[in-house]
Structure 1
Amino acid sequence: MKPYASLACAALLGTAAAHAAGQVTPEAGAAQEQAPSPAPGRSAAAKPDATIQQVTVSGSRANDTDQRRLSTAGKMVFGREELDRNGDSNVGDILKRLPGVTVGGAPGRGGGGVRMRGMGNGYTQMLVNGERPPPGFSLESLPPDQVERIEVMRGPVAEHSTQAIAGTINIVLREGYQQKDIQFRVSDSVAKGLHSPNVSLAMPGKSGQLGWLTNVMLHQNRNENESTTYDRSERRDGTPDSEQLLRGRSDARSRGLHLSPRVSYTFDNKDTLTIQPFLGVNRSNSRLANEVERIAGSPDYARLLQASRSEATFGRLFGNWLHRMEGGAKLDVKFGAGGANSENSSLRRSFGFAGEPLRVFNDSGDSRFRSANTGGKYTKPVAKGHLLAIGWDVEANRLEQVQVAEDDGSPLYEESGASLAAKQRRLALFAQDEWDITERWSAYLGLRWEGIRTTSQGAGKDVKNLSRVWSPVLHTVWRIPGSEKDQLRASLTRSYRAAPLNDMIAAPGISADNSFVRPDRSGNPDLKPELATGIDLAYEHYIGRTGIVSASGFVRDVDDLIRRVVIETATAQGLRWISRPANIGKARTSGIELEAKFQLSDLFPAAPNVDVRANYSRFWSDVEDIRGPYNRLEGQAGQTANLGADWRLKAIPLTLGASINWTPEFAVQASNEELSRTGAKRQLDVFGLWRFPAHTQLRLFGSNLLSQNYDTARSVTLPDVFTSTQSRTYATVGVRLETKL
């Protein structure tokens, strides 16, 4: 299998790396092993664990790699070293560098959602400690200091919800069992002269059988944005309506507090009880000013001023009780509760070309979300090489919402301002068997049934929606004979995407400048879940102690695809464009993903102490009943790539690193009438890390150093509308001091 490893290196890193990989013979590769390879069987898995415990490891790289290699269901683990490497201010910036992951929105700004395999929001399942986070939670608001590791699973597994057509990203909050010192971190980042400081403190403790870890972080973000938008539109009869150039400038400020204490108690019988609350408070204010340059026709306004504010408070309690029984059996029970309150308001005033006031548009909302859940998993070795698990998940959610939208004091919808209450109940049962078929062949068989019932009252219509999904999953890994470092993976899975609650309830979202490209938004209570059948194949070659080269491919066939459809509807204020989600038919997506991660000395023994990371992904998709050639899944880029390296100098305690992220321009035919385009993104990040004595280090970092403009465009044929926006982006530089007390 050595030629395949060399080929993958060549594809990712160029001819030089491929040539170097070709120089490593099987005998030399075996000589580089520091410990014997583990037996692939479940019962033999204790052997590699024992070997790891005998080796002093700096960071978590070796453990991360071993977890990936030994897992039957493909899983990538990224620990503290990866999280700390570039000094990122939020988890979204970290995710953009992971294999097959893209982040929407302008470079350095985020806000566009996290996508695995290029698939849009909802296809990628985001979890915090294995559970769905509450509304109001966003990756941009989660500081990396609060995270212990990130787990990326490309295929669904039975013990988690199978709402993971593209895959699952599980963010595990900080754990206390490894930490002994108080960790203090203070940093400041600057973009366009605006400072964004943050301070974090992690304090562990232990008294007898009780252990705890308290994590707290305060942060403030400041940013300014500038954009230029060109709009051209025609009336239905083909006569020109307006042509204009809109220049926008906005500034925003947000402040937040995050707290995640963790308490763990070990009983005399070795049972453990863990309680981990997660609390967050975010406040933000923003101002927007738009100036219109009239080219032709009659634009709606010459100037628009907008002031917005939002407040969000969310919390989640994670609880876990682990009970060990005879014969290696375990009962793992989880429980939790959470809630989120959010308020937002926006006041927009428009003015004519003579400076006269035109319209006052007021939009405000208030929502309350509450949830409770419990679940568990019972595992027991039932035969040699068999680890059987059965479990359950029960979750209850309630959402209360009030939305007010007024134009010059008059409601835009009859139900605007009415209260809305929605309830959602979820029940799931699952069973799985991890089976070591032979010494080199392991399989994971799982079956999950999940039912979701949604009801709501208010907003002019009662809603009832019930969905039930069976999800069989099969994962298998074969460790190739004669090569302890090579293995093949295959998966056959059934996954789904349930319609989001906000897509089913009928609470309207109002657009101040209503048009086909800026429609109001409403829900559809009759949505069915999207169902997907998927096949995954992967080849993995492990290099040295921590390196890997892999090549994988996937196919997903999706039924009942959900996509928003824009229609014109009569309202109290006349005809308005409204966007509603609908099941439009079938789609297929496929792709290949290449990855390489290794120390340069694994290929060249005399090479400097450099870590290399590279990945490349290529995606295809096709949506039936929408004309080509751009009838792709919404938001899916055709390609993405990352390249990075870290150099740890020997003579001085300095580490230098850089990474570049690339996503080319792509177009998507959203409907037969609408085509959208997204510009290319290139993001260069660098850092330097100086380690002082007494557990102190200073990190200097820069992100989005290329500062390239971000372009988007939409065109519509009936009526003819074209709009394009160019947004400026800015480089961010910062400093971060980390110390252990």
Structure 2
Amino acid sequence: MPTVPHILLLAPLLSIAAGAFAHAAPEEGPLQVVQVKASATAYDPRRDDTAAKIVVTHDEIVKQGDTSIGDVLKRLPGITIGGVPGRGGDIKMRGMGSGYTQILLNGDPAPPGFSLDGLAPDLIERIEIMRAASAEYSTQAIAGTINIVLRRAVVAAQRELKTTLQSEHGRPGGNANFSVSDKAGNLSYAVVSGLAWSTQDRPATGFTTFSDPAGAPLGRRDQASFMRGTYQGVNLAPRVNLTLGPDDSLAWQSFLAANEYGGPATERSITTLGAPPAFSSAVTSLAQRTVLARSDLTWTHKMADGARFDAKAGVSTGTRRVEREAFEYDRAATLALERRTTSRPRDQGVSASVKYATPVFGKHALTAGWDGAWSARTEHRIERDIAAGDPPANLNLAFDASVVRLALFAQDEWTISKQWSAYLGLRWEGVRTRSSGVENTSAVWSPLLQTLYKLPGSKQDQVRLALSRTYKAPFTNELLPRRLRAIENSATTPDEQGNPRLRPELAWGLDLAFEHYLQGGGLLSASAYLRRIEDNARNNIFLIDGLWVSMPINTGKAQAHGIELEAKFALKSVFKAAPAIDLRANLARNWSRLDTLPGPNNRLVSQTPVSANLGVDYKMDRLPLTLGASYSYQNGGPVRFSLNEFDYSTPKRLLDLYALARISPKVQLRLSVANALHQSYMTALTWVDADGARADATITPTAPVLRAALELKL
């Protein structure tokens, strides 16, 4: 006889199947995989789950003393961070960012405006890395999924305080993190909070060159810029668990983040050859304030025979205010343009999900459910230009956008034999986007297969295979036909405009892995992947009414493939007389090719071809001291963006060091150096056409970050 949970599960499924979303578009979903294992004490999710995942625990996350989650992720196999070394940037799996890598927060799509850079590692319970898609989560994950799970486990009453002071370029900064948790009868709670502030010097130099079709120089400009920024941020993650009875429980979890960043900047250009630009120097200022909040309530009901029902509802809101002033001067140091811009975006959203899981026939674990969300963004952008000799020009842009997404999923984890298990899943996702009268809808069916086979006669060796259908939906701002104007319009600094006709990218994927487990938790693994992408989207530059405009378009098919190698083990597992040294290393090699763009270097935008990490931790026997070091490498090189546009970036090398002294069981002192190599980073963008070539290069120096942290258990 159907129970209330069954009715709650089936009612939306039946009404949706009737066709409310005949054409809908793709997006994201949440939740976590139910596993039925014989021995909970020996359970290792990476080793035992049929649906492959890498789980990074809280202890591993905080081991190095990092203050940003990007510093944690850069050491993990197959993950790279874009941008200037040591400063955070686009997070990539398989070298692919820009929406190919899905970021989840507690299993749900991260809210608009959310930045991992503002998330303190102490707030995180674990990080789950899923190279292949699963039905419970959104399949908007061509490269893979990174799920950030906030602190939730309450084992016993505890209070912890961590304070850190740092220095970069001689500029001070610091952060403080406080966590408290306790139990009282059927109620348990945990609150983790973080404060951060920093002052930053950001110098850079660069040059712009012009040449004719034969390569003869026509012009050169040298630039120098300097920005002094100040960052302040706070985040809070409370969680309350309430046991209602032997079969029912409620969990409330929220996340609040508020930060502001800003400061003055100067830029000067000196023309050494050719005609000078319209603006030779500039003084600008930036002030940005962001507030994000999210809250979720989950009801869990346990049923007979191991079945389980979960219902979840959440709300989110976010506001941001960006104020920018730019004063542009000509070669004679006369004010030629004053531009003031104010932007006020606001995001709101609600979400809900239902999941029902039950074991059947002894060897099957069936799960089915649905999840959906509505989100809306409104933005008012005011731009006022005052140019010498011209009346003031005002540009007021107001737009609103809404996104409705819905997903249905079902999966079966089947234990075929003691050595062989399989995961079968099917997910339908639909998304409808409306913005300023423009509507975009699409839908994706995603069949999924993952299988795990433990080789006969060995308890250490196993192989994995996964087949998946995934996609990448356009970002909302990529669909909006509004135009953002550049101060100096050129082929390398164009205006930006969205494309309401942009379609999702669809991909078929194949993943294969071999894993060999060592005593003491060690691991040797090798994996390979292949992605075949349809309707690949990339920004192209067009000359429209005499102005250069960058616009995303679908360009055709693309292919990406690569290999990843990983090793981690304690040296004692190899040599019993060795000191207490833990070693870890990983290497990734990625290739990609666009069918519609001639080579060489016609790979996916900003894909990292090679990345590698090497780390060591040494826990001394006679002293309460642990020393550690990690080295990260990402190569760059040339990339062809389009028929006329080329990019280049230098390789990135990062060395981090730390020393952890245990003064007492409740007191620890940590000293660390991040970005010890303080490598300069260069990028260059070149435009080539029948009239010649223009190249813009930027060289950014970096500095080591010195930190001292005191960690207390109160």
When the two structures are superposed, what TM-score results if normalisation uses the length of structure 1?
Answer: 0.89
Q: 1:356 aligns with which of 325, 334, 349?
A: 334
SS in 1 for 2:253: strand
Give 1:123-272 correspondences, 5 Å limit: 123-233=100-210, 242-272=219-249
Displacement of 1:682: 0.4
Displacement of 1:628: 0.3
Q: Which residue of 2 aligns with 1:645?
A: 616
Q: Does 1:449 align with 2:449?
A: no
SS in 2 for 1:621: strand
Q: Which residue of 2 aligns with 1:331?
A: 309
The residue type paired with residue 351 of structure 1 is Y
The residue type paired with residue 642 of structure 2 is S
Pair 419,239 (structure 1): closer, same or farther in 2 beyond 3 Å: farther
> How far apart are the structure 2 equivalents of 1:432 and 1:126?
22
Q: Which residue of 1 aligns with 2:378?
A: 400
> How far apart are the structure 2 equivalents of 1:455 and 1:356?
45
Q: Which residue of 1 aligns with 2:529?
A: 554
Residues 385 and 393 in structure 2, CA contact (< 8 A), matched pair in contact too? no
Q: 2:38 aligns with which of 42, 46, 56?
A: 46
Residues 426 and 453 in structure 1, CA contact (< 8 A), matched pair in contact too? yes
Pair 235,417 (structure 1): closer, same or farther in 2 beyond 3 Å: farther
> How far apart are the structure 1 equivalents of 2:155 and 2:259?
30
After superposition, what is the alpha-carbon deviation per residue over 1:348-401, rounded to whole angstroms, capped at 9, x for unaligned? 111122221111122221101000000021001111210000010110010101
Displacement of 1:407: 2.8
Q: Mean Cα displacement is larger for which, 700-709 or 510-519? A: 510-519
Q: Which residue of 2 aligns with 1:440?
A: 419
> How far apart are the structure 2 equivalents of 1:329 and 1:181?
33
Pair 413,666 (structure 1): closer, same or farther in 2 beyond 3 Å: farther
The residue type paired with residue 493 of structure 2 is R
Q: Does 1:518 align with 2:485?
A: no
Pair 239,550 (structure 1): closer, same or farther in 2 beyond 3 Å: closer
> How far apart are the structure 1 equivalents of 2:103 and 2:430?
19
Residues 403 and 507 in structure 1, CA contact (< 8 A), matched pair in contact too? no
Residues 404 and 431 in structure 2, CA contact (< 8 A), matched pair in contact too? yes
Q: Which residue of 2 aligns with 1:422?
A: 401
Q: Mean Cα displacement is larger for which, 652-661 or 288-297? A: 288-297
Displacement of 1:238: 10
Q: Does 1:703 align with 2:678?
A: no
> How far apart are the structure 2 equivalents of 1:292 and 1:375?
55
Q: Which residue of 2 aligns with 1:583?
A: 554
Q: 1:287 aligns with which of 264, 267, 271?
A: 264
Give 1:541-690 correspondences, 5 Å limit: 541-570=516-545, 575-690=546-661
Pair 634,413 (structure 1): closer, same or farther in 2 beyond 3 Å: farther
Q: Which residue of 2 aligns with 1:319?
A: 297
The residue type paired with residue 740 of structure 1 is K
Displacement of 1:215: 1.2
Give 1:37-76 correspondences, 5 Å limit: 45-47=37-39, 49=40, 51-52=41-42, 66-76=44-54
SS in 1 for 2:477: helix
When the two structures are superposed, what TM-score results if normalisation uses the length of structure 2?
Answer: 0.92
Residues 355 and 367 in structure 2, CA contact (< 8 A), matched pair in contact too? yes
> How far apart are the structure 1 equivalents of 2:606 and 2:392?
30
Residues 623 and 631 in structure 1, CA contact (< 8 A), matched pair in contact too? yes
SS in 2 for 1:408: strand
Displacement of 1:412: 11
Q: Does 1:106 align with 2:84?
A: yes
Q: Does 1:693 align with 2:664?
A: yes
> How far apart are the structure 2 equivalents of 1:89 and 1:468?
39
Residues 156 and 183 in structure 2, CA contact (< 8 A), matched pair in contact too? no
After superposition, what is the alpha-carbon deviation per residue over 1:619-649, rounded to whole angstroms, capped at 9, x for unaligned? 0100111110100000112100000000000
The residue type paired with residue 436 of structure 1 is T
The residue type paired with residue 629 of structure 2 is A
The residue type paired with residue 315 of structure 1 is A
> How far apart are the structure 2 equivalents of 1:98 and 1:232?
39
The residue type paired with residue 615 of structure 2 is G
Pair 714,551 (structure 1): closer, same or farther in 2 beyond 3 Å: same
After superposition, what is the alpha-carbon deviation per residue over 1:44-86, rounded to whole angstroms, capped at 9, x for unaligned? x132x1x44xxxxxxxxxx6xx110011111000012221121
> How far apart are the structure 2 equivalents of 1:174 and 1:359?
50
> How far apart are the structure 2 equivalents of 1:738 and 1:497?
41
> How far apart are the structure 2 equivalents of 1:412 and 1:584?
40
Displacement of 1:237: 12
Give 1:361-400 correspondences, 5 Å limit: 361-400=339-378
Q: Mean Cα displacement is larger for which, 205-214 or 424-433? A: 205-214
The residue type paired with residue 291 of structure 1 is R
SS in 1 for 2:487: coil
> How far apart are the structure 1 equivalents of 2:264 and 2:522?
48
Q: Does 1:275 align with 2:252?
A: yes
Pair 455,411 (structure 1): closer, same or farther in 2 beyond 3 Å: farther
Q: Structure 1 residue runs of 4+, over 6 Å off? A: 235-241, 409-414
Q: Which residue of 2 aligns with 1:721?
A: 694
The residue type paired with residue 731 of structure 1 is P
> How far apart are the structure 2 equivalents of 1:303 and 1:290?
5
Displacement of 1:227: 1.1
Pair 157,227 (structure 1): closer, same or farther in 2 beyond 3 Å: same
Displacement of 1:234: 5.7
Q: 1:508 aligns with which of 483, 488, 501?
A: 483
> How far apart are the structure 2 equivalents of 1:157 and 1:185?
36
Q: Mean Cα displacement is larger for which, 720-729 or 439-448? A: 720-729
> How far apart are the structure 1 equivalents of 2:582 and 2:363?
37
Q: Does 1:302 align with 2:277?
A: no
Q: Which residue of 2 aligns with 1:118?
A: 95
> How far apart are the structure 2 equivalents of 1:731 and 1:505?
40
> How far apart are the structure 2 equivalents of 1:274 and 1:507?
42
> How far apart are the structure 2 equivalents of 1:544 and 1:265?
39
Q: Which residue of 1 aligns with 2:5?
A: none
> How far apart are the structure 2 equivalents of 1:167 and 1:238?
42
Residues 136 and 313 in structure 1, CA contact (< 8 A), matched pair in contact too? no
Q: Mean Cα displacement is larger for which, 490-499 or 354-363? A: 354-363
Residues 364 and 404 in structure 1, CA contact (< 8 A), matched pair in contact too? yes
Number of positions where the alignment pairs a residue of Structure 1 with one of Structure 2: 676
The residue type paired with residue 561 of structure 1 is N
Q: Mean Cα displacement is larger for which, 397-406 or 163-172? A: 397-406
After superposition, what is the alpha-carbon deviation per residue over 1:538-577, rounded to whole angstroms, capped at 9, x for unaligned? 000001131111000000000000101111223xxxx321
The residue type paired with residue 712 of structure 1 is T
The residue type paired with residue 64 of structure 2 is N
> How far apart are the structure 1 equivalents of 2:536 and 2:622?
57
> How far apart are the structure 2 equivalents of 1:134 and 1:239?
50
| Uncovered stretches (5+) of structure 2, i.e. residues with no partner | 1-33
Pair 237,613 (structure 1): closer, same or farther in 2 beyond 3 Å: closer
The residue type paired with residue 374 of structure 1 is A
> How far apart are the structure 2 equivalents of 1:555 and 1:215?
40
Residues 386 and 393 in structure 2, CA contact (< 8 A), matched pair in contact too? no
Residues 241 and 298 in structure 1, CA contact (< 8 A), matched pair in contact too? no
Displacement of 1:270: 3.1
> How far apart are the structure 2 equivalents of 1:174 and 1:650?
31
Displacement of 1:240: 7.3
> How far apart are the structure 2 equivalents of 1:477 and 1:534?
17
After superposition, what is the alpha-carbon deviation per residue over 1:190-249, rounded to whole angstroms, capped at 9, x for unaligned? 111111111111111221101101111111022111111110236999997742000111
